[in-house]
């Protein structure tokens, strides 16, 4: 593959993720009450909310292939998920950057693991750092960046590998309100071009209603459509305020 091919290729299609009557929990017997039956459409952004301890992070790790379900199965495009895969990327609340690697080297990491040639992954890293507004920070180490900047690096690293699904576990939860809003807008802009399916866990109702095409209320199992996804000027529209009220009631 040439040094320009990775950037020139069209975005891969988003993955279809299906939970077939899945019972969530850990092997030690700690189970989340109830089961989850849900289809997440290719390219959809599903926001997941629920009270503390309801299994939001467990759900994400199960879809990632890090944790087997206690019952039922999870599939991607009809194939059972049994282990992690390169086309499903995880983004955490804590940036999980490697502190001894530069910003550029952190973004290159998923490509280096796949043995993408060095020149090509350099090009891809430069492109993604530019897209997240960090073009001038490539040679810095993570400790030299702010929290918001580190999350931008983590987002660039996750997307540089061109995943078909992005699984996000409260990625902006530790940021201040202004930086959080900036990161939400950045995520919207970037995902518009990627085609990836996104499962976005959050405890913030405003964030769920703003970002999601649908919202899964994990405690009750309800799935609600968002009337105006990603439109900030619609936050006071009747449909949006009603959805906000229903989510708060479920919590």
pLDDT band at 232, cuts 50/70/90?
confident
Residue 250 is predicted with a pLDDT of 82
61 and 177 fall within a common domain:
yes
Q: Is the pLDDT of residue 210 over 70?
A: yes
Cα–Cα distance between 45 and 166 in angstroms, integer? 9
pLDDT band at 193, cuts 50/70/90?
confident
Residue 54 is predicted with a pLDDT of 81
pLDDT band at 4, cuts 50/70/90?
very low
C-alpha distances (whole Å) from 56 to each of 47, 70, 198, 202, 217 are 10, 15, 14, 8, 10
Range of the domain at 152: 98-162
pLDDT band at 15, cuts 50/70/90?
very high
76 and 185 fall within a common domain:
yes
188 and 234 fall within a common domain:
yes
Which residue among 136, 162, 188 closes a domain? 162
| Number of compact structural domains in the chain | 2
């Amino acid at each position: 593959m040439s040094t320009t091919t990775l950037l020139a290729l069209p975005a891969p299609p988003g993955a279809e993720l299906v939970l077939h009557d899945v019972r969530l929990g850990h092997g030690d017997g700690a189970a989340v009450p109830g089961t989850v039956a849900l289809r997440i459409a290719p390219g959809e952004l599903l926001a997941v909310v629920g009270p503390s301890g309801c299994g939001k992070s467990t759900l994400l790790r199960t879809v990632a292939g890090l944790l087997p379900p206690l019952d039922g199965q999870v599939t991607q495009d009809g194939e059972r998920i049994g282990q992690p895969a390169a086309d499903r990327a995880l983004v955490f609340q804590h940036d999980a950057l490697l502190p001894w690697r530069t910003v550029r080297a952190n973004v290159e990491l998923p490509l280096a693991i796949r043995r993408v040639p060095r020149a090509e992954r350099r090009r891809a890293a430069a492109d993604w750092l530019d897209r997240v507004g960090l073009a001038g920070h490539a040679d810095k180490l993570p400790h030299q960046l702010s929290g918001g900047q580190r999350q931008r690096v983590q987002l660039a690293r996750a997307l540089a590998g061109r995943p078909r699904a992005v699984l996000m576990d409260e990625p902006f939860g530790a940021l201040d309100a202004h930086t959080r809003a900036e990161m939400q807008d950045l995520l919207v802009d970037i995902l518009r071009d990627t085609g990836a399916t996104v499962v976005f866990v959050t405890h913030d109702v405003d964030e769920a209603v703003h970002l999601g095409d649908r919202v899964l209320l994990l405690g009750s199992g309800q799935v609600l459509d968002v009337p105006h996804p990603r439109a900030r000027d619609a936050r006071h529209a009747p449909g949006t305020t009603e959805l906000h009220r229903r989510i708060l009631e479920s919590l």
